[in-house]
């Protein structure tokens, strides 16, 4: 039997999309450590774990989960998709046939991309998170949580507002919240951890982009085994790791 449809009343075609792309790096000294790294990433960021992160984002931005889909991949990687709306309410669930309210169609998708194939042993983990919302929900409110939920060495943040909605008098508006920069939504304590910052703001086009790269840290931040700190290959590995970060940050090929 087909599910009963939820009736939509009102009109909204203003879509806000936050794309949060992060890279985390790690030094491995042999093939066994590469395998250990892949297992570590799977345990920490498998489909169940990233769905939990998505669920927390939904809670933070005052949305409501409609449906969830998730998948782990062989040999590596995971995906999660959460459909949501800004319908909120307590008490017993209301049968869909009785629902008559403005439903804002929104979703969160998360995809992970572990990479342990580098011959020099510089492993990386990329996460692509897209939060697409309508209505009054502002996905930028989840920004600080994303930094806290993941280890972020290099970060790309894109934010766009598309479409339009109408005021009560029929006038179209193309953005319902105004700000100067994505950085306005990031805590100062988080921003202090980053040394490279690129901030592109085109409010006339409802488009913003910020790029960030972590400050120089010691090898203890990137080694799987802290006892490897005195390994003779570590200084060269650190040089390669920093070059890898700069390449990703600047997209140099």
Separation CA 151–CA 123 (nearest Å): 14
Q: From 73, 148, 144, 79, select the one nearest 107 (Cα to Cα).
A: 79
Separation CA 133–CA 105 (nearest Å): 7
Evaluate whether 38 touches 75 at the Cβ level (below 8 Å).
yes
Q: In degrees rounded to 5, what are phi and psi of residue 233?
A: -85, -10
Verify whether residue 177 is a known catalytic residue.
no
pLDDT at 91 > cutoff 70: no
Share of the chain above pLDDT 90, in %: 66
Catalytic-role residue among 26, 123, 134, 152: 134
pLDDT at 24 > cutoff 90: yes
Catalytic-role residue among 85, 106, 124, 132: 106
Residue 170: pLDDT band by 50, 70, 90 thresholds?
A: confident
**Structure confidence by residue, pLDDT tens digits, 109-160:** 999 999 999 999 999 999 999 999 887 788 999 999 999 999 999 999 999 9
What's the rounded mean pLDDT across residues 41-49? Answer: 94
Verify whether residue 111 is a known catalytic residue.
yes
**Structure confidence by residue, pLDDT tens digits, 47-72:** 999 999 999 999 888 888 888 999 99
What's the rounded mean pLDDT across residues 156-184? Answer: 87
- pLDDT at res. 149: 94
pLDDT at 226 > cutoff 60: yes
Verify whether residue 102 is a known catalytic residue.
no
Lowest mean pLDDT among 96-105, 113-122, 243-252: 96-105
Sign of the CA dihedral with 29 first, then 31, 37, and 40 last: negative
What's the rounded mean pLDDT across residues 9-29? Answer: 85
156 three-state secondary structure: strand
Separation CA 213–CA 198 (nearest Å): 9
Mean per-residue pLDDT of the chain: 86
pLDDT at 164 > cutoff 80: yes
What's the predicted TM-score (pTM) here? 0.85
Q: From 118, 108, 101, 79, select the one nearest 17 (Cα to Cα).
A: 108
Catalytic-role residue among 111, 123, 124, 132: 111
Separation CA 71–CA 112 (nearest Å): 11
Residue 198 pairs in a beta bridge with 211
């Amino acid at each position: 039997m087909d599910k009963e449809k939820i009736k939509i009343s009102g009109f909204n075609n203003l879509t806000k999309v936050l794309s949060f792309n992060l890279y985390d790096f790690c030094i491995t000294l042999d093939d066994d450590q590469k395998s250990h790294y892949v297992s570590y990433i799977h345990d920490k960021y498998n489909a169940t774990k990233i769905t939990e992160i998505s669920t927390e984002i939904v809670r933070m931005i005052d949305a409501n989960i409609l449906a969830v889909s998730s998948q782990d991949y062989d040999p590596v990687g995971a995906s999660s998709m959460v459909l949501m709306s800004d319908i909120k309410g307590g008490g017993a669930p209301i049968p869909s046939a009785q629902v008559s309210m403005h439903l804002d169609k929104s979703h969160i998708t998360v995809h992970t991309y572990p990479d342990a194939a580098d011959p020099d042993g510089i492993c990386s983990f990329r996460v692509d998170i897209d939060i697409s919302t309508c209505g009054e929900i502002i996905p930028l409110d989840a920004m600080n949580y994303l930094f806290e939920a993941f280890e972020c060495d290099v970060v790309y943040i894109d934010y766009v507002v598309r479409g339009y909605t109408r005021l009560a008098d029929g006038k179209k508006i193309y953005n319902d919240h105004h700000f100067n920069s994505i950085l306005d939504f990031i805590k100062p304590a988080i921003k202090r951890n980053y040394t490279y910052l690129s901030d592109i703001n085109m409010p006339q086009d409802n488009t913003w982009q910020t790029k960030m790269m972590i400050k120089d840290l010691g090898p203890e931040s990137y080694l799987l085994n802290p006892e490897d700190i005195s390994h003779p290959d570590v200084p060269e590995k650190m040089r390669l790791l920093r070059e890898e970060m700069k390449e990703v940050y600047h997209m140099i090929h």
